[in-house]
């Protein structure tokens, strides 16, 4: 059995070095590879298939709310990027610039899109004339580029994949409702599909998107106690509409500015899945997103009837699940290790004795619980086991998060938690950016969000002692 251990031994234990554990899992589960392009990673089949599933499921949730997909150019002329002042100030330092096309220098350099507000706004200024043209509920799936100094697979890369929704509405109320609606779509998707519980809230002005009136966010807690911003939704008010001249005539024939939103989720959510659910044997994929949900591993596969039974099971299960049979010439122990490293939610073990007994063994990846399942019950039992696994993973993540969420009533408590207890810190805030800056500088902790579920845990700001305005979730973030 010496072989069986190789895969496992190759990962660092998460207790020893969480960052190294993460890198090991990402490589060993064959999610990504590095290339000679600085700061960019290659999505290998196992990694890209996860993103394809996320796309498929998120996209259908978008479309249920009336969203339509479009595609905008990947380049933005410098003059267009500069039209909204806050926006360009926020993005200019991290833009990649195309300055040469073919053999000629360009007259105007072009940004490789870091985000596409400016292109959507220009288009809306063409196609929105009357209240009848509103709302516009557009989204695109693409990659964007931000020139980052330090990068980590999925979490921070120079190029990353995402979707960016951009909507235009007749009224401020509709824009606000859409901003909140899409945040809820993200939060529900993360809980119902990825088994990741989210804190929903609003970003402070310091942390909001460049050009937005308000940014809402969902924040998750990783296994190491760090926070990860997992999706954001922005209300732009009419700021971009004024900069780009997006106007419509209302029912009374009066000219009005449109109100806009944008919202995005990126491949970093794959990093969240890894860091919330993974363990020291590798990846643990939530059953509703796993590209392969079930790996059937025949035991003593050279014996008569074993591979045939495996194939029969595959066909039965394929009606409702994504299933593979590992009939390679590796030994079963090695196959188990591989299935575990790759995070395939369940494996089905089935050999001559099982066949004789009319049943197989189903093993859950997360808890390694084993179930004896009769062949004629496999379809319904499999659905139950995967649903139970999803619920348990969500519940464990929630329990872990709650156990690592602390309250601080004064700066001393806050400092003690920030330095010794990785996790979310709930503390009151006066609303002054000076306190946010001080906390960030002294304790390396940032405001994650002002949760929608506000509580009053004390009357004074945890930093300056002045009257408190808001409860804030603080944390160290990826």
Distance between CA atoms of residues 137 and 111, nearest Å: 25
* 21 in contact with a copy of itself (CB under 8 A): no
Q: Which is nearer to a copy of itself, 48 or 375 (CB)?
A: 48
- In three-state secondary structure terms, 354 is helix
* 342 in contact with a copy of itself (CB under 8 A): no
* 138 in contact with a copy of itself (CB under 8 A): yes
User: Which position among 17, 52, 442, 455 is part of the footprint of a copy of itself (CB under 8 A)?
Assistant: 52
**Cβ neighbour number for residue 376 with a 10 Å cutoff:** 11
* 93 in contact with a copy of itself (CB under 8 A): yes
* 150 in contact with a copy of itself (CB under 8 A): no
Q: Which is nearer to a copy of itself, 10 or 98 (CB)?
A: 98
Q: Which is nearer to a copy of itself, 74 or 172 (CB)?
A: 74
* 119 in contact with a copy of itself (CB under 8 A): yes
* 378 in contact with a copy of itself (CB under 8 A): no
* 13 in contact with a copy of itself (CB under 8 A): no
Give whole-number Cα distances, 135 to 163, 183, 235, 261, in Å.
19, 18, 14, 11
Binding pattern to a copy of itself, positions 159-178, x when CB under 8 A? Answer: x-x-----------------
Torsion of CA 370, 280, 159, 116, to 10 degrees: 60
Are the C-beta atoms of residues 139 and 165 closer than 8 Å to each other? yes
User: Which position among 17, 45, 242, 434 is part of the footprint of a copy of itself (CB under 8 A)?
Assistant: 45
Distance between CA atoms of residues 140 and 164, nearest Å: 5
* 455 in contact with a copy of itself (CB under 8 A): no
Are the C-beta atoms of residues 478 and 228 closer than 8 Å to each other? yes
| Minimal distance, residue 50 CB to a copy of itself, in Å | 11
| Minimal distance, residue 416 CB to a copy of itself, in Å | 38
Q: Which is nearer to a copy of itself, 52 or 384 (CB)?
A: 52
Choices 67-75, 241-249, 400-408, 465-473; region in contact with a copy of itself by CB under 8 A: 67-75
* 72 in contact with a copy of itself (CB under 8 A): yes
Choices 6-14, 98-106, 174-182, 396-404; region in contact with a copy of itself by CB under 8 A: 98-106
Distance between CA atoms of residues 386 and 347, nearest Å: 11
- In three-state secondary structure terms, 55 is helix
Residue 233 φ/ψ, nearest 5 degrees: -140, 125
- In three-state secondary structure terms, 105 is strand
* 142 in contact with a copy of itself (CB under 8 A): yes
DSSP code for 321: S
Q: Which is nearer to a copy of itself, 112 or 214 (CB)?
A: 112
The angle subtended at Cα 274 by Cα 270 and Cα 278, nearest 5°, is 160
User: Which position among 3, 20, 65, 69 is part of the footprint of a copy of itself (CB under 8 A)?
Assistant: 69
Choices 66-74, 196-204, 406-414, 425-433; region in contact with a copy of itself by CB under 8 A: 66-74
Nearest in space to 436 (alpha carbons), one of 207, 200, 202: 207
DSSP code for 130: B
| Minimal distance, residue 274 CB to a copy of itself, in Å | 17
Distance between CA atoms of residues 237 and 289, nearest Å: 35
* 251 in contact with a copy of itself (CB under 8 A): no
Distance between CA atoms of residues 358 and 198, nearest Å: 43
| Minimal distance, residue 310 CB to a copy of itself, in Å | 19
Strands of 294-298's sheet in order across: 323-325, 294-298, 346-350, 359-364, 370-374
Look at strands 424-429 and 405-407 and give their pairing.
Answer: parallel
* 363 in contact with a copy of itself (CB under 8 A): no
Torsion of CA 159, 124, 206, 177, to 10 degrees: -110
Q: Which is nearer to a copy of itself, 182 or 195 (CB)?
A: 182
Residues interacting with a copy of itself, by CB under 8 A?
33, 35-37, 40-45, 48-49, 51-52, 68-77, 79-80, 92-103, 109-110, 112, 119, 122-123, 126-127, 138, 142-143, 145, 147, 159, 161
């Amino acid at each position: 059995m010496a072989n069986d251990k190789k895969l496992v031994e190759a990962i660092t234990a998460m207790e020893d070095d969480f960052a190294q554990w993460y890198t090991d899992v990402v490589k060993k589960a064959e999610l990504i590879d590095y290339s000679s392009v600085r700061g960019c990673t290659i999505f290998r089949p196992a990694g890209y298939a996860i993103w394809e599933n996320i796309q498929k499921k998120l996209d259908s949730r978008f479309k249920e709310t009336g969203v339509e997909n479009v595609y905008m150019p990947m380049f933005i002329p410098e003059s267009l990027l500069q039209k909204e002042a806050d926006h360009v100030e926020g993005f200019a330092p991290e833009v990649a610039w195309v300055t040469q096309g073919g053999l000629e220098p360009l007259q105007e350099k072009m940004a490789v899109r870091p985000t596409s507000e400016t292109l959507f706004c220009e288009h809306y200024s063409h196609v929105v004339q009357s209240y009848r043209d509103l709302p516009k509920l557009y989204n695109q799936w693409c990659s964007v580029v931000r020139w980052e100094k330090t990068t980590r697979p999925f979490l921070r890369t120079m190029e990353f994949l995402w979707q960016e929704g951009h909507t235009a509405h007749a009224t401020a109320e509709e824009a606000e409702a859409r901003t909140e609606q899409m945040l809820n779509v993200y939060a529900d998707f993360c809980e119902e599909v990825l088994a990741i519980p989210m804190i929903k809230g609003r970003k402070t002005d310091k942390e909001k998107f460049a050009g937005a009136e308000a940014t809402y966010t969902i924040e998750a807690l990783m296994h190491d106690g760090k926070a990860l911003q997992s999706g954001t939704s922005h209300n732009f008010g009419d700021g971009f509409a004024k900069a780009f001249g997006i106007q419509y005539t209302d029912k009374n024939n009066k000219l009005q500015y449109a109100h806009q939103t944008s919202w995005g989720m990126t491949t970093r959510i794959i990093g969240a899945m890894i860091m919330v659910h993974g363990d020291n044997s590798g990846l643990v994929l939530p059953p509703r997103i796993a590209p392969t949900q079930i790996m059937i591993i025949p035991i003593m596969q050279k014996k008569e009837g074993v591979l045939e039974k495996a194939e029969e099971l595959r066909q039965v299960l394929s009606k409702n699940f994504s299933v593979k049979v590992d009939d390679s010439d590796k030994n079963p122990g090695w196959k188990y290790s591989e299935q575990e490293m790759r995070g395939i939610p369940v494996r089905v073990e089935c050999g001559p004795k099982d066949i004789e007994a009319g049943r197989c063994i189903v093993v859950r990846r997360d808890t390694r619980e084993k179930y004896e399942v009769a062949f004629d019950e496999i379809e319904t039992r499999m659905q139950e086991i995967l649903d139970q696994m999803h619920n348990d993973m969500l519940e464990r993540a929630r329990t872990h998060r709650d156990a690592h969420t602390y309250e601080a009533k004064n700066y001393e408590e806050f400092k003690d938690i920030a330095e010794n207890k990785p996790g979310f810190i709930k503390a009151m805030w006066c609303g002054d950016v000076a306190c946010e800056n001080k906390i960030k500088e002294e304790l390396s902790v940032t405001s994650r969000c002002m949760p929608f579920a506000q509580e009053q845990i004390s009357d004074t700001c945890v930093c300056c002692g002045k009257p408190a305005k808001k409860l804030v979730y603080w944390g160290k973030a990826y």
